[in-house]
Amino acid sequence: MASTTPTVGLFGMNMNAAADPAVSARIARRAEELGYDSLWAADHVVLPRPRTEDSPLEPDTPLLDPVVALTHLASHTERIRLGTGCVILPQRNPVILAKQLASLDVVSGGRLLFGAGVGYLEPEMSAVGVPMAGRGARADEYLQAIHALWYEDKPAFHGSYAGFDSVDARPRPLQRPVPLVIGGHSAAAHRRAVAHGDEWFGYLVGVRSTAEQVRALRELSDRAGRQDRPLKVSVAPARPLDAATVRTYAELGVDRLVVVPPVDLTVRELEEFVERHAPRVLGAAPA
């Protein structure tokens, strides 16, 4: 297996210290200067209070809406890609989300990476009136609905969870197509990535888990006949990164490593983290 040289993205650009718009703008500009290829924003509309065992964050964590935050960062950068990591699809109206993301792609000059997942926090789903049951099928329909609004001459979609006809939404995204990044570690997420995605995103996965995930994705891709359109792989590692670890992930076929700052960093510590994980420091590929 030929290894790639991964690029490096930066996660959490809408949360904790980076929820301050002045801080995130400064960090984004510096990340672009250092050769990071992408900035990623998380998505949780609400968080359980008190915190549940499966919740990734404390309920009082500052967390801006990802589309709003990335639009802000688009105005302070020129080249770096802007990724939703990942929008929880079942919680979003697909027609409105299609408009929001298309607008972000336009105002950023075609830099959107559309990361999408199905979610897993029951209190969050309940708060927006979406049942946990059927959320995978709902997400699949929403992807099809968004695809229709972005790429069909006469958009129309009729499903169990979404439906429209005799409508249009302009402007369309500048990118045709917008790269679709599917997040999730389950077999269903793998199938969704192979069926619909351009890229798979694994969040906080170690080397062994990454090897298993990549193997499963490749087997599915081969069965689906995707040899001429390989699925890219992005991973947010579950361990600190250094040059040796980057090489290990590269040997597994990872295309992008997305570094995740610890949640309790001060602004100065976040700036130091960004410097310490720059592509040239890690021996990764610059954007």
Q: Centre a 10 Å sphere on the Cβ of residue 158 and count the other Cβ atoms it contains.
A: 11
Cis peptide before 86 (omega within 30 of 0): yes
pLDDT at 269 over 90: yes
Diameter over CA atoms, the chain? 55
How is domain 7-282 classified at the CATH fold level?
A: TIM Barrel (3.20.20)
- What is the average pLDDT across 255-275? 97
Mean pLDDT of the chain: 97
pLDDT for the residue 239: 86
Dihedral sign of CA atoms 131, 137, 141, 146 in order: positive
User: In the structure, what pLDDT confidence band is assigned to residue 1 with cuts at 50, 70 and 90?
Assistant: very low
pLDDT, tens digit (0-9, with 9 covering 90-100), for 47-62:
999 999 999 999 999 9
Cα angle for residues 177, 118, 61 (degrees, 5° grid): 105
Separation of alpha carbons 142 and 136, rounded Å: 10
Amino acid at 229: R
pLDDT of residue 240: 87
Residue spans per domain, the chain: 7-282
Q: Contact, 275 vs 24, CB < 8 A?
A: no
Q: What distance in Å separates the CA atoms of residue 132 and residue 112, rounded to the nearest whole number?
A: 28
Question: Which ranges in 108-253 belong to alpha helices (H)?
Answer: 122-127, 135-151, 187-196, 207-223, 243-251
Under a CB-based contact definition with an 8 Å cutoff, are residues 8 and 279 in contact?
Answer: yes
